Structure 1
Amino acid sequence: MTENLTAVLLILLINALTFGAFWWDKDAARKGQWRVPESRLLWLALIGGSPGAVLAQRFLRHKTRKEPFRTQLMLICAMHAVALAVWFSAPLWAPIALAALSFAH
Protein backbone atom coordinates (compact mmCIF):
# COMPACT_ATOMS: atom_id res chain seq x y z
CA MET A 1 0.00 0.00 0.00
CA THR A 2 1.39 3.41 -0.92
CA GLU A 3 1.91 6.18 1.61
CA ASN A 4 -0.75 8.32 -0.09
CA LEU A 5 -3.34 5.55 0.06
CA THR A 6 -2.50 4.90 3.71
CA ALA A 7 -2.93 8.61 4.51
CA VAL A 8 -6.29 8.74 2.71
CA LEU A 9 -7.53 5.64 4.54
CA LEU A 10 -6.45 7.07 7.91
CA ILE A 11 -8.22 10.35 7.18
CA LEU A 12 -11.38 8.49 6.15
CA LEU A 13 -11.17 6.36 9.31
CA ILE A 14 -10.79 9.31 11.70
CA ASN A 15 -13.67 11.12 9.98
CA ALA A 16 -15.88 8.04 10.22
CA LEU A 17 -14.99 7.71 13.92
CA THR A 18 -15.74 11.39 14.47
CA PHE A 19 -19.11 11.14 12.73
CA GLY A 20 -19.84 8.03 14.80
CA ALA A 21 -18.96 9.83 18.04
CA PHE A 22 -21.36 12.65 17.16
CA TRP A 23 -24.07 10.10 16.33
CA TRP A 24 -23.44 8.28 19.63
CA ASP A 25 -23.66 11.57 21.55
CA LYS A 26 -26.89 12.58 19.78
CA ASP A 27 -28.44 9.19 20.49
CA ALA A 28 -27.35 9.33 24.14
CA ALA A 29 -28.81 12.84 24.47
CA ARG A 30 -32.16 11.60 23.20
CA LYS A 31 -32.14 8.66 25.63
CA GLY A 32 -30.82 10.62 28.62
CA GLN A 33 -27.73 8.42 28.83
CA TRP A 34 -24.00 9.03 29.26
CA ARG A 35 -22.76 11.65 26.76
CA VAL A 36 -19.52 11.95 24.84
CA PRO A 37 -17.56 14.84 26.38
CA GLU A 38 -17.32 17.92 24.15
CA SER A 39 -13.56 17.91 24.65
CA ARG A 40 -13.39 14.45 23.06
CA LEU A 41 -15.52 15.54 20.09
CA LEU A 42 -13.27 18.56 19.57
CA TRP A 43 -10.14 16.43 19.96
CA LEU A 44 -11.39 14.07 17.24
CA ALA A 45 -12.00 17.08 15.00
CA LEU A 46 -8.54 18.48 15.76
CA ILE A 47 -6.69 15.29 14.83
CA GLY A 48 -8.24 15.29 11.37
CA GLY A 49 -11.94 14.61 11.83
CA SER A 50 -13.19 18.14 11.23
CA PRO A 51 -14.99 17.25 7.97
CA GLY A 52 -16.74 14.37 9.77
CA ALA A 53 -17.65 16.67 12.65
CA VAL A 54 -19.16 19.30 10.36
CA LEU A 55 -21.06 16.67 8.37
CA ALA A 56 -22.39 15.18 11.60
CA GLN A 57 -23.48 18.62 12.81
CA ARG A 58 -25.39 19.22 9.58
CA PHE A 59 -26.91 15.76 9.02
CA LEU A 60 -27.67 14.95 12.66
CA ARG A 61 -28.52 18.54 13.63
CA HIS A 62 -26.33 18.11 16.67
CA LYS A 63 -24.39 20.80 18.52
CA THR A 64 -25.26 23.40 15.88
CA ARG A 65 -26.10 26.16 18.39
CA LYS A 66 -23.97 25.08 21.36
CA GLU A 67 -21.40 27.75 22.23
CA PRO A 68 -18.44 27.86 22.63
CA PHE A 69 -18.34 24.39 21.03
CA ARG A 70 -19.51 25.67 17.65
CA THR A 71 -16.93 28.45 17.54
CA GLN A 72 -14.14 26.12 18.65
CA LEU A 73 -15.05 23.64 15.93
CA MET A 74 -15.08 26.39 13.29
CA LEU A 75 -11.63 27.55 14.47
CA ILE A 76 -10.35 23.99 14.07
CA CYS A 77 -11.83 23.87 10.56
CA ALA A 78 -10.21 27.21 9.69
CA MET A 79 -6.86 25.97 11.01
CA HIS A 80 -7.16 22.84 8.85
CA ALA A 81 -8.07 24.93 5.80
CA VAL A 82 -4.99 27.13 6.28
CA ALA A 83 -2.77 24.07 6.78
CA LEU A 84 -4.11 22.51 3.56
CA ALA A 85 -3.60 25.75 1.64
CA VAL A 86 0.01 25.94 2.85
CA TRP A 87 0.57 22.26 2.03
CA PHE A 88 -0.83 22.47 -1.51
CA SER A 89 0.87 25.78 -2.29
CA ALA A 90 4.29 24.57 -1.05
CA PRO A 91 5.52 23.66 -4.56
CA LEU A 92 5.08 27.33 -5.48
CA TRP A 93 6.90 28.99 -2.59
CA ALA A 94 9.11 26.31 -1.03
CA PRO A 95 11.98 26.58 -3.57
CA ILE A 96 12.10 30.36 -3.09
CA ALA A 97 12.07 30.02 0.70
CA LEU A 98 14.82 27.39 0.63
CA ALA A 99 16.93 29.52 -1.69
CA ALA A 100 16.50 32.53 0.61
CA LEU A 101 17.51 30.43 3.62
CA SER A 102 20.62 29.09 1.91
CA PHE A 103 21.56 32.60 0.73
CA ALA A 104 21.38 33.88 4.31
CA HIS A 105 24.03 31.42 5.44
Structure 2
Amino acid sequence: MIPFLFITNLVTFGVFGFDKWQAKKHQWRISENTLLGISLLGGIIGAVSGMIIFNHKVSKKSFLMKFILVVLIDLVLLYRLIRH
Protein backbone atom coordinates (compact mmCIF):
# COMPACT_ATOMS: atom_id res chain seq x y z
CA MET A 1 0.00 0.00 0.00
CA ILE A 2 2.79 2.44 0.88
CA PRO A 3 4.60 2.15 -2.50
CA PHE A 4 1.28 2.70 -4.31
CA LEU A 5 0.54 5.85 -2.28
CA PHE A 6 4.08 7.16 -2.76
CA ILE A 7 3.93 6.71 -6.53
CA THR A 8 0.37 8.07 -6.74
CA ASN A 9 1.34 11.21 -4.83
CA LEU A 10 4.48 11.70 -6.89
CA VAL A 11 2.49 11.39 -10.13
CA THR A 12 -0.25 13.68 -8.83
CA PHE A 13 2.31 16.31 -7.86
CA GLY A 14 3.83 16.10 -11.34
CA VAL A 15 0.45 16.34 -13.07
CA PHE A 16 -0.45 19.48 -11.10
CA GLY A 17 2.94 20.97 -12.02
CA PHE A 18 2.53 20.04 -15.68
CA ASP A 19 -0.95 21.55 -15.81
CA LYS A 20 0.35 24.81 -14.31
CA TRP A 21 3.18 24.86 -16.85
CA GLN A 22 0.66 24.32 -19.66
CA ALA A 23 -1.53 27.10 -18.26
CA LYS A 24 1.38 29.54 -18.33
CA LYS A 25 2.02 28.68 -21.99
CA HIS A 26 -1.71 28.90 -22.86
CA GLN A 27 -1.57 25.33 -24.13
CA TRP A 28 -3.77 22.25 -23.79
CA ARG A 29 -4.76 21.66 -20.15
CA ILE A 30 -5.55 18.69 -17.98
CA SER A 31 -9.21 18.67 -16.98
CA GLU A 32 -10.22 19.45 -13.43
CA ASN A 33 -11.99 16.10 -13.29
CA THR A 34 -8.70 14.35 -14.05
CA LEU A 35 -6.90 16.37 -11.37
CA LEU A 36 -9.63 15.52 -8.86
CA GLY A 37 -9.70 11.88 -9.97
CA ILE A 38 -6.02 11.24 -9.42
CA SER A 39 -6.29 13.05 -6.10
CA LEU A 40 -9.14 10.72 -5.13
CA LEU A 41 -7.00 7.67 -5.95
CA GLY A 42 -4.74 8.55 -3.04
CA GLY A 43 -2.82 11.53 -4.34
CA ILE A 44 -4.09 14.09 -1.83
CA ILE A 45 -0.66 14.95 -0.42
CA GLY A 46 0.81 15.31 -3.90
CA ALA A 47 -2.14 17.45 -4.97
CA VAL A 48 -1.90 19.78 -1.97
CA SER A 49 1.87 20.03 -2.42
CA GLY A 50 1.44 20.81 -6.12
CA MET A 51 -1.25 23.38 -5.42
CA ILE A 52 0.98 25.17 -2.91
CA ILE A 53 4.35 24.90 -4.64
CA PHE A 54 3.05 25.72 -8.13
CA ASN A 55 0.39 28.13 -6.84
CA HIS A 56 -2.08 26.18 -8.92
CA LYS A 57 -5.87 26.17 -8.48
CA VAL A 58 -5.57 27.83 -5.06
CA SER A 59 -7.74 30.82 -5.96
CA LYS A 60 -10.41 28.89 -7.86
CA LYS A 61 -13.17 28.42 -5.28
CA SER A 62 -15.22 25.94 -7.31
CA PHE A 63 -12.20 23.65 -7.63
CA LEU A 64 -11.32 24.01 -3.96
CA MET A 65 -14.83 23.02 -2.90
CA LYS A 66 -14.68 19.90 -5.07
CA PHE A 67 -11.18 19.16 -3.79
CA ILE A 68 -12.34 19.39 -0.17
CA LEU A 69 -15.07 16.87 -1.01
CA VAL A 70 -12.43 14.55 -2.50
CA VAL A 71 -10.31 14.90 0.65
CA LEU A 72 -13.31 14.03 2.83
CA ILE A 73 -14.12 10.99 0.69
CA ASP A 74 -10.49 9.84 0.90
CA LEU A 75 -10.49 10.25 4.67
CA VAL A 76 -13.65 8.17 5.03
CA LEU A 77 -12.23 5.47 2.75
CA LEU A 78 -8.94 5.47 4.66
CA TYR A 79 -10.77 5.21 7.98
CA ARG A 80 -12.83 2.26 6.74
CA LEU A 81 -9.72 0.57 5.33
CA ILE A 82 -7.80 0.93 8.59
CA ARG A 83 -10.77 -0.10 10.70
CA HIS A 84 -11.22 -3.44 8.93
Could you state the TM-score of these two structures normalised by the residue count of structure 2?
0.88
Which structure has greater helix proportion? 1
Asked which structure has the greater CA Rg, the reply is 1
Please list every run of at least 4 consecutive aligned residues from structure 1 whose deviation after the TM superposition is greater than 4 angstroms.
none
* Residue correspondences, number: 84
Shift of 1:52: 0.9
What are the equivalent positions in structure 2 for 1:4-83 lying under 5 Å apart?
7-83=1-77
Shift of 1:50: 1.4
| Structural RMSD (CA) | 1.4
CA distance in 2, matches of 1:48, 1:61: 21
Structure 2: tracts of 5 or more residues without a match: none
Shift of 1:83: 2.7
Q: Which amino acid aligns with 2:76?
A: V
Shift of 1:67: 2.9
Structure 1: tracts of 5 or more residues without a match: 1-6, 95-105
Shift of 1:58: 1.1
Shift of 1:87: 3.6
Shift of 1:80: 1.6
CA distance in 2, matches of 1:46, 1:27: 22
Could you state the TM-score of these two structures normalised by the residue count of structure 1?
0.72
Bigger relative CO (Cα 8 Å, ≥ 6 apart): 2
